[in-house]
Structure 1
């Protein structure tokens, strides 16, 4: 019913008793089936009087959440290393910026400018910094127009937390925001080559300011060779102009 579109994203499933009657099975079988669907990410279960089982929306964010959870479990089990995820994330962010320059919408640009404007007003130790950085890169990936690419960047950014690995001094914070501004300007100008170059410059700068391995629990991200890529004030933004 879900795959055929009879049950659409966001729609609430009938009660267990009704499902049991409809399919001619026991309520126990229905509960087992619902657990399986939830595990597969096809439905979500909400507790409470107004809760129930709902068909998951099928978009890049829900796919990204599924990927993130899967990667998170494998990291916890030691099946994957954080540096492996970080390297893939870096590789994906370059084509994401290029595609964003070609496909971005006015809404995408507005969101990116709002994020950078906020970054300019806060200090490097503000708890909002990691989320803003992640939102910036996820928005670029979403602006690419490729939902699979956006889902992977969403998942990888959520799990690798790039700022966790940086020596984020006020100077590094200000330069990072200036680079974010530059990336936004190239995307706004629909200049794919310049957007790609701006992201490569940004990633190269970040790699140059990684914390020593022992400063981040031995999980330092492996620097990605540049050749492998396509070509006083504590406020993050200092006094630079907005993008």
Structure 2
């Protein structure tokens, strides 16, 4: 990081150290993302970084903690140890994305209608590719989750989890790494809040029926049948989302 410069903001006050910590972490992160710092490259020591940025060692340590939490760096002890640029795995990258989406979802950044539209458009593409590319393992995963959903004795929480995994398996069946990466993570965030809002209004067995038709279409490579079943599922959910939102507005008005 030859272009790293001491930060102009002084380390004074309660807010200043936090801002400086974020700036340092962002500076190092940018150096990693733009390729200035290479994968497995050793970073300078904490003392050297503190001198380079004109801050204290504790401030550098806090910045490095931020980067470690993002899986961008790793520490190694012993001879040849130090702090190295990490190569995040797909799972770690997905965890980062899921964490951000969960935060936005908890802040109410996405409406149920937003979620329904996203699931409709992206899910339909998944169905199209899954019909063409699914494997026997994909079919087994879909069947396994659907069998759980069809068990009337499971809780709404367990039904929701099986619902998420069914659609994640559908994304996996596309054979497309990008769809699988993004949708498996996003569905884990977007479906549960929506499901737990509409569980009062939905018919679980009716949803299972839509899922069964989707699975049969994917199994028989009948694209039209699978897509029609998925479109009907999304139409049904849109109706239930609208009912749930109306009910929530009524409850809010009464409180």
TM-score tier (shorter): 0.5 to 0.7
- Whether the 8 Å contact between 1:134 and 1:158 is mirrored in structure 2 is yes
| TM-score scaled by length of structure 1 | 0.65
Kindly state the Cα deviation for residue 216 of structure 1 after the two structures are TM-superposed: 4.4
Mapping for residues 1-243 of structure 1, pairs under 5 Å: 7=40, 25=49, 31-32=61-62, 34-38=64-68, 40-42=70-72, 55=86, 57-59=88-90, 61-77=91-107, 79-123=109-153, 125-160=155-190, 161=192, 162-168=194-200, 172-210=203-241, 211-216=243-248
- Whether the 8 Å contact between 1:104 and 1:144 is mirrored in structure 2 is yes
Partner of 1:240: none
SS at match of 1:121: coil
- Whether the 8 Å contact between 2:148 and 2:159 is mirrored in structure 1 is no
- Which has the higher relative contact order, 1 or 2, with Cα contacts under 8 A spaced 6 or more apart? 1
Whole-Å Cα distance in 2 between the matches of residues 57 and 106 of structure 1? Answer: 30
Structure with greater proportional helix content: 2
Name stretches of at least 5 consecutive residues in structure 1 with no aligned partner: 8-12, 46-51, 219-243
Greater alpha carbon shift after TM alignment, 175-184 vs 62-71? 62-71
Aligned residues: 202
Whole-Å Cα distance in 2 between the matches of residues 188 and 204 of structure 1? Answer: 23
Q: Label 1:21 to 1:89 Cα distance change in 2 as closer, same or farther (>3 A).
A: same
Deviation sequence 1:147-170 (CA, Å, 0-9, x none): 22233323432333232232556x
- Whether the 8 Å contact between 2:73 and 2:85 is mirrored in structure 1 is yes
- Whether the 8 Å contact between 2:97 and 2:185 is mirrored in structure 1 is yes
| TM-score scaled by length of structure 2 | 0.62
Whole-Å Cα distance in 1 between the matches of residues 147 and 110 of structure 2? Answer: 36
SS at match of 1:145: coil
- Whether the 8 Å contact between 1:63 and 1:151 is mirrored in structure 2 is no
Deviation sequence 1:47-96 (CA, Å, 0-9, x none): xxxxx99946532x544432222222234445554532442122111111
Whole-Å Cα distance in 1 between the matches of residues 225 and 245 of structure 2? Answer: 32
Kindly state the Cα deviation for residue 174 of structure 1 after the two structures are TM-superposed: 1.2
SS at match of 1:212: helix
Name which one, 1 or 2, has greater alpha-carbon Rg: 2
Whole-Å Cα distance in 2 between the matches of residues 130 and 206 of structure 1? Answer: 14
Q: Label 1:112 to 1:37 Cα distance change in 2 as closer, same or farther (>3 A).
A: same
